[in-house]
Structure 1
Amino acid sequence: MTDFSDSLRLSVSAMRAQATRLRLVSENIANADTPGYRRKTVSFTQMAGASGEVQTGRVNLDRSELTRIHDPAHPLADESGHYAGSNVDLIVEIADSREAQRSYEANLKLFDQARQMSSALRELLRR
Structure 2
Amino acid sequence: MSDFTQALGISASGMSAQTARIGRLSENIANADTPGYHRKLVSFDAEVQRGQQTGRIEVGRTSLDQSPLSQIYDPSHPLADETGHYNGSNVDLLVEIADAREAQRSYEANLKMFEQIKQMSSGLLDLLRR
TM-score by length of structure 1 reads: 0.98
Q: Which runs of 5+ in 2 are unaligned?
A: none
Q: Structure 1 segments of 4 or more deviating over 6 A?
A: none
Structure 2 CA distance for aligned equivalents of residues 115 and 51 of structure 1: 19
Structure 1 CA distance for aligned equivalents of residues 91 and 117 of structure 2: 38
Structure 2 CA distance for aligned equivalents of residues 81 and 62 of structure 1: 25
Give the structure with the larger strand fraction.
2
Structure 2 CA distance for aligned equivalents of residues 2 and 56 of structure 1: 24
**2:3 equivalent in structure 1:** 3
Percent pairwise identity: 63
Structure 2 CA distance for aligned equivalents of residues 12 and 41 of structure 1: 21
* One-letter code aligned to 1:56: V
**In the alignment, structure 1 residue 95 sits paired with structure 2 residue 102:** no
TM-score by length of structure 2 reads: 0.96
* One-letter code aligned to 2:25: V
Give 1:86's match in structure 2, choosing from 86, 89, 93: 89
**2:125 equivalent in structure 1:** 122
**1:45 equivalent in structure 2:** 45
Aligned-residue offset at 1:20: 0.3
Aligned-residue offset at 1:50: 3.4
Alignment root-mean-square deviation, CA:
0.6
Aligned length: 127
State the SS of the aligned residue for 1:53.
strand
Matches within 5 A, 1:7-86: 7-48=7-48, 49-86=52-89
Structure 2 CA distance for aligned equivalents of residues 117 and 54 of structure 1: 23
* CA deviation profile, 1:67-93 (whole Å, cap 9, x unmatched): 000001111111111100000001110
* One-letter code aligned to 1:75: P
State the SS of the aligned residue for 1:50.
strand
* CA deviation profile, 1:61-118 (whole Å, cap 9, x unmatched): 0000000000011111111111000000011101100110000000000000000110
* One-letter code aligned to 2:105: R
State the SS of the aligned residue for 2:32.
coil
Structure 2 CA distance for aligned equivalents of residues 42 and 23 of structure 1: 10
* One-letter code aligned to 1:16: S
